[in-house]
A = this chain, B = another copy of it.
Amino acid sequence: MINPFDDIYFMRKALQEAELAFEKGEIPVGAIIVVKDRIIARTHNLTELLNDVTAHAEMQAITSAANFLGGKYLTSCTLYVTLEPCQMCAGALYWSQIAKIVYAASDEQRGFKTLGTKLHPKTEVVSGVLAEEASALMKRFFIERRNLN
Protein backbone atom coordinates (compact mmCIF):
# COMPACT_ATOMS: atom_id res chain seq x y z
CA MET A 1 0.00 0.00 0.00
CA ILE A 2 1.20 3.46 -0.82
CA ASN A 3 1.61 5.77 2.17
CA PRO A 4 0.53 9.27 1.17
CA PHE A 5 2.26 10.72 4.24
CA ASP A 6 5.83 10.59 3.05
CA ASP A 7 8.63 13.15 3.39
CA ILE A 8 7.59 14.82 0.13
CA TYR A 9 4.02 15.26 1.35
CA PHE A 10 5.14 17.00 4.52
CA MET A 11 7.85 19.05 2.82
CA ARG A 12 5.15 20.48 0.54
CA LYS A 13 3.40 21.72 3.67
CA ALA A 14 6.63 23.34 4.85
CA LEU A 15 7.00 24.95 1.40
CA GLN A 16 3.49 26.39 1.75
CA GLU A 17 4.68 28.03 4.96
CA ALA A 18 7.75 29.37 3.13
CA GLU A 19 5.40 30.93 0.56
CA LEU A 20 3.58 32.72 3.38
CA ALA A 21 6.89 34.15 4.57
CA PHE A 22 7.64 35.27 1.00
CA GLU A 23 4.35 37.15 0.77
CA LYS A 24 5.25 39.04 3.96
CA GLY A 25 8.66 40.07 2.63
CA GLU A 26 10.46 37.59 4.89
CA ILE A 27 13.29 35.34 3.69
CA PRO A 28 11.10 32.41 2.62
CA VAL A 29 11.75 29.57 5.07
CA GLY A 30 8.92 27.40 6.37
CA ALA A 31 8.78 24.59 8.89
CA ILE A 32 6.35 22.06 10.25
CA ILE A 33 6.60 19.50 13.03
CA VAL A 34 4.91 16.12 12.69
CA VAL A 35 4.05 13.37 15.17
CA LYS A 36 2.62 10.11 13.82
CA ASP A 37 1.62 11.72 10.50
CA ARG A 38 -0.10 14.57 12.29
CA ILE A 39 1.10 18.16 11.89
CA ILE A 40 1.36 19.80 15.33
CA ALA A 41 3.19 23.01 14.37
CA ARG A 42 3.28 25.19 11.23
CA THR A 43 5.57 28.20 11.17
CA HIS A 44 7.54 30.50 8.90
CA ASN A 45 10.35 32.96 9.29
CA LEU A 46 9.24 36.20 10.96
CA THR A 47 12.53 37.94 11.77
CA GLU A 48 11.60 41.16 9.96
CA LEU A 49 8.01 41.43 11.17
CA LEU A 50 8.95 40.68 14.78
CA ASN A 51 12.27 42.56 14.63
CA ASP A 52 13.86 39.54 16.22
CA VAL A 53 16.80 37.48 14.96
CA THR A 54 15.55 34.52 16.99
CA ALA A 55 12.24 34.27 15.08
CA HIS A 56 13.41 31.64 12.58
CA ALA A 57 10.77 29.16 11.44
CA GLU A 58 12.40 26.27 13.33
CA MET A 59 12.59 28.15 16.65
CA GLN A 60 8.91 28.99 16.52
CA ALA A 61 8.10 25.41 15.49
CA ILE A 62 9.98 23.98 18.50
CA THR A 63 8.16 26.31 20.90
CA SER A 64 4.82 25.65 19.25
CA ALA A 65 5.21 21.85 19.23
CA ALA A 66 6.28 21.83 22.89
CA ASN A 67 3.19 23.88 23.75
CA PHE A 68 1.01 21.42 21.88
CA LEU A 69 2.61 18.40 23.55
CA GLY A 70 2.77 19.92 27.02
CA GLY A 71 6.41 18.90 27.36
CA LYS A 72 9.62 20.36 26.08
CA TYR A 73 11.22 17.26 24.54
CA LEU A 74 10.34 16.37 20.95
CA THR A 75 11.66 12.81 21.02
CA SER A 76 8.81 11.47 18.85
CA CYS A 77 8.73 14.38 16.40
CA THR A 78 10.01 15.07 12.91
CA LEU A 79 10.85 18.60 11.75
CA TYR A 80 10.42 19.45 8.07
CA VAL A 81 12.15 22.68 7.10
CA THR A 82 12.78 24.18 3.66
CA LEU A 83 16.35 25.31 4.41
CA GLU A 84 19.20 23.64 6.30
CA PRO A 85 19.03 24.88 9.91
CA CYS A 86 21.57 27.45 11.13
CA GLN A 87 23.71 27.11 14.28
CA MET A 88 21.02 28.63 16.49
CA CYS A 89 18.25 26.37 15.22
CA ALA A 90 20.44 23.26 15.26
CA GLY A 91 21.46 24.16 18.82
CA ALA A 92 17.79 24.42 19.80
CA LEU A 93 17.07 21.10 18.05
CA TYR A 94 19.92 19.56 20.06
CA TRP A 95 18.19 20.58 23.31
CA SER A 96 14.80 19.36 22.03
CA GLN A 97 16.16 15.84 21.37
CA ILE A 98 14.04 15.74 18.23
CA ALA A 99 13.86 12.31 16.54
CA LYS A 100 14.30 13.41 12.93
CA ILE A 101 15.14 16.49 10.87
CA VAL A 102 14.26 16.63 7.17
CA TYR A 103 15.42 19.67 5.23
CA ALA A 104 15.14 20.70 1.58
CA ALA A 105 17.84 23.12 0.37
CA SER A 106 21.36 23.21 1.78
CA ASP A 107 22.90 26.38 3.20
CA GLU A 108 26.58 26.06 2.39
CA GLN A 109 27.50 29.30 4.16
CA ARG A 110 25.50 29.33 7.34
CA GLY A 111 24.07 25.84 7.65
CA PHE A 112 24.82 23.70 10.70
CA LYS A 113 26.64 21.07 8.64
CA THR A 114 29.25 23.50 7.34
CA LEU A 115 29.60 25.13 10.76
CA GLY A 116 29.75 21.81 12.62
CA THR A 117 26.92 22.36 15.09
CA LYS A 118 26.32 19.29 17.24
CA LEU A 119 22.92 17.59 17.15
CA HIS A 120 21.58 15.13 19.71
CA PRO A 121 23.06 11.67 19.08
CA LYS A 122 19.56 10.20 18.60
CA THR A 123 18.56 12.71 15.90
CA GLU A 124 18.34 11.36 12.35
CA VAL A 125 18.93 13.79 9.46
CA VAL A 126 17.58 13.61 5.90
CA SER A 127 18.42 16.29 3.34
CA GLY A 128 17.56 17.26 -0.22
CA VAL A 129 13.79 16.60 -0.12
CA LEU A 130 12.23 19.06 -2.63
CA ALA A 131 15.53 20.96 -2.56
CA GLU A 132 15.03 22.41 -6.05
CA GLU A 133 11.64 23.88 -5.21
CA ALA A 134 12.96 25.41 -1.99
CA SER A 135 16.04 26.86 -3.71
CA ALA A 136 13.94 28.27 -6.55
CA LEU A 137 11.68 30.07 -4.07
CA MET A 138 14.69 31.51 -2.28
CA LYS A 139 16.28 32.70 -5.55
CA ARG A 140 13.01 34.28 -6.68
CA PHE A 141 12.82 36.15 -3.36
CA PHE A 142 16.31 37.62 -3.63
CA ILE A 143 15.83 38.58 -7.30
CA GLU A 144 12.57 40.36 -6.51
CA ARG A 145 14.06 42.12 -3.51
CA ARG A 146 17.01 43.33 -5.57
CA ASN A 147 14.65 44.69 -8.20
CA LEU A 148 12.61 46.55 -5.59
CA ASN A 149 15.63 48.38 -4.19
Q: Are A62 and B53 in contact (CB under 8 A)?
A: yes
Of A63-71, A122-130, A132-140, the segment with at least 4 beta carbons within 8 Å of chain B is A63-71
Q: Does A131 contact B (CB under 8 A)?
A: no
Bin the interface of chain A by size: 20 to 34
Q: Are A118 and B63 in contact (CB under 8 A)?
A: no
Assuming the contacts A90-B91, A95-B88, A118-B115, asked whether A54 and B47 have C-beta atoms less than 8 A apart, the reply is no
Chain A, 67-98, contact with B by CB distance < 8 Å: what is the 0/1 string?
A: 10011110000000000001111111011100
Q: Does A51 contact B (CB under 8 A)?
A: yes
Q: Are B51 and A66 in contact (CB under 8 A)?
A: yes
Shortest distance in angstroms between A103's beta carbon and chain B's nearest beta carbon?
Answer: 16
A54 partner residues in chain B, CB cutoff 8 A: 54, 59, 62-63, 92, 95
Number of chain copies forming the complex? 2
A52 partner residues in chain B, CB cutoff 8 A: 62-63, 66-67, 72
Q: Are A70 and B87 in contact (CB under 8 A)?
A: no
Q: Does A116 contact B (CB under 8 A)?
A: yes
Query: 29 A-B Cβ contacts within 8 A?
Result: A51-B66, A51-B67, A51-B70, A52-B62, A52-B66, A52-B67, A53-B62, A53-B66, A53-B73, A53-B92, A53-B95, A53-B96, A54-B54, A54-B59, A54-B62, A54-B63, A54-B92, A54-B95, A86-B95, A87-B87, A87-B90, A87-B91, A88-B88, A88-B91, A88-B92, A88-B94, A89-B91, A90-B91, A115-B117
